[in-house]
Amino acid sequence: MKHSDYKKGFVFKRFEAPEQSPFEKLFEIFKELITHTSGDFDEAISWLRELDKEYSLTNAEYTIDDFIEDLKKKGFIKEEIDGDGKGGTVITGKTERAIRQQALKHIFGQLKRSGAGNHRSKQIGVGDEHTGEFRNYQFGDALDKVSVTESLKNAQIHHGIGNFNLTEDDLVVEETLHKSQMSTVLMIDISHSMILYGEDRITPAKKVAMALAELITTRYPKDTLDIIVFGNDAWRIEIKDLPYLKVGPYHTNTVAGLQLAMDILRRKRHTNKQIFMITDGKPSCLRMPDGQYYKNSMGLDDYIVNKCYDTAQQARRLHIPITTFMIAKDPYLMRFVQEFTHANKGKAFYTGLKGLGEMIFEDYETNRKKRIRG
């Protein structure tokens, strides 16, 4: 056959999804539903049965009841008795982890990875991120940092093979980048407005929180992530609590959330500290020294707003930048966020729900590459 008979090009074929078992297909849908129902198993299964009627997800060989039985066998659900003696089915820690992994895959899975490891800073120092640059050995350098190959090469050049001798002058060490650690507090607004106007805003927010938690605990285990929610007050929640997070009949006490976040970060020994705040509403509540609540939902209250600015400046003095992810786009609220951001010298993103996860991921990755002086 002549060389000219060969042809080069691309061959395209129809995409074929990876083969999944009936359980795996249903489990993907179940994880999404259990997130929307805030961990309510019975409601999630009810939705799954409705979807099955509409889209024929199962058949006579594998039914929803078979799926529930497999969930039990595989340890994803269990029967539990509450304080009133009533029984019910609940998800397990294994399911909570699976939900976080799915959130990480959906939100961050398609983004460019920057490699495994911890947060790199531009300063040369003690670390294990190799730079490829060498310098002469100095008294006090750790022996495990000595480059054996480069040192032996120097000895050969300086003394020859016949009279081989390795001296201190032949030793070189490879520079490494100092690895910083990051302490992050993620604040999630759970005021009533997060489910108003026919839009579910809390589910995307907690998905982002679960994805960020999974990212940090798996890729950056030396970093810390604390999650707090704020309504009339603010309180910490555990990562395992995220699937069950619900909106309450609350106003928005932004100051309480920021003060709690700063209290948490003061106790962290890491130099790099930051606050991420996801909110869609204006600050409308303060807790007074006597324990009473001062509330005003009508526009922007000067007293509440000025307290927010003061708290932002306090965080700035502590070298804690605040990044605000503002879901709402009302002009007067955007002006408030601009002033708030200016007071803190932080950052603000005005976004809808779409792309929220990507923005948080990229900002986290950006912040980890710079050293925040503290």
Where does residue 282 rank: exposed (0-12), middle (13-18), buried (19+ CB within 10 A)? buried
Q: How confident is the model at residue 186 (pLDDT cuts 50, 70, 90)?
A: very high
Closest CA to 348 of 252, 358, 340: 340
pLDDT digits (tens, 9 = 90+) for 50-82: 999 999 999 999 999 999 999 999 999 999 887
pLDDT at 144 over 80: no
Residues 262 and 119: their CA atoms lie apart, in Å, by 21
Q: Is residue 116 within 8 Å of residue 219, measured between CB atoms?
A: yes
Average pLDDT over residues 308-328: 93
Q: Which whole-number Å values give the CA distances from 221 to 116, 153, 215, in the listed order? A: 11, 37, 9
**312 DSSP β-pair partners:** none
In the chain, % of residues over pLDDT 90: 48
Look at 86-95, 138-147, 285-294 and tell me which has the smallest mean pLDDT.
138-147
pLDDT class for 123, splitting at 50, 70, 90?
very low
pLDDT for 63 equals: 96
In the block, residue with structure tokens 């029967």 = 79
Which residues is 88 bridged to in the sheet?
Answer: 80
Instruction: Tell me how far apart the alpha carbons of residues 341 and 169 are, in angstroms, rounded to a whole number.
Output: 53
> What is the distance between the alpha carbons of residues 287 and 294, in angstroms, rounded to a whole number?
6
Q: Which positions ≥6 away from 92 have C-beta within 8 Å?
A: 75, 76, 77, 78
**Range with top average pLDDT, 2-16, 19-33, 131-145, 162-176:** 19-33
pLDDT, greater one: 128 or 349: 349
The yes-or-no verdict on residue 369 having pLDDT over 60 is: yes
Is residue 94 exposed (0-12), middle (13-18) or buried (19+ Cβ within 10 Å)? middle
Q: Could you give the dihedral angle defined by the CA atoms of residues 318, 324, 330 and 332, in that order, rounded to the nearest 10 degrees?
A: 10
The confidence band for 200, taking pLDDT boundaries of 50, 70 and 90, is confident
What is the tens place of the pLDDT at every residue in 342-366?
999 999 888 766 777 778 877 887 7
Phi and psi at 48, nearest 5°, equal -65, -40
Give the C-alpha separation, 96 to 360, whole Å.
21
> Does position 118 have pLDDT exceeding 70, yes or no?
no
Greatest mean pLDDT range, 138-142, 347-351, 366-370:
347-351
Cα(36)–Cα(47) distance, integer angstroms: 10
Concatenated DSSP letters for 245-313? ----S----HHHHHHHHHHHHHT---SEEEEEEEE-S---EEE-TTSPEEE--SS--HHHHHHHHHHHH
Region for 332 from its dihedrals, namely left if φ exceeds 0, alpha if ψ lies in -120 to 50, beta otherwise = alpha
59-68, 80-89, 204-213, 219-228: least confident range:
80-89
Residue 112 — pLDDT band, cuts 50, 70, 90? very low
Statement: residue 111 has pLDDT above 60: no
Tokens 């991420």, residue located: 276
Identity of the amino acid at 213: A
pLDDT value for 94: 94
What's the CA angle centered on 156, arms 151 and 159, to 5 degrees?
Answer: 115
CA distance 77 to 89: 7
Give the end-to-end CA distance of the chain in Å, rounded to a whole number. Answer: 72
CA distance 335 to 67: 51
pLDDT digits (tens, 9 = 90+) for 244-277: 999 999 999 999 999 999 999 999 986 789 999 9
Give the whole-angstrom CA distance, residue 62 versus residue 56: 11
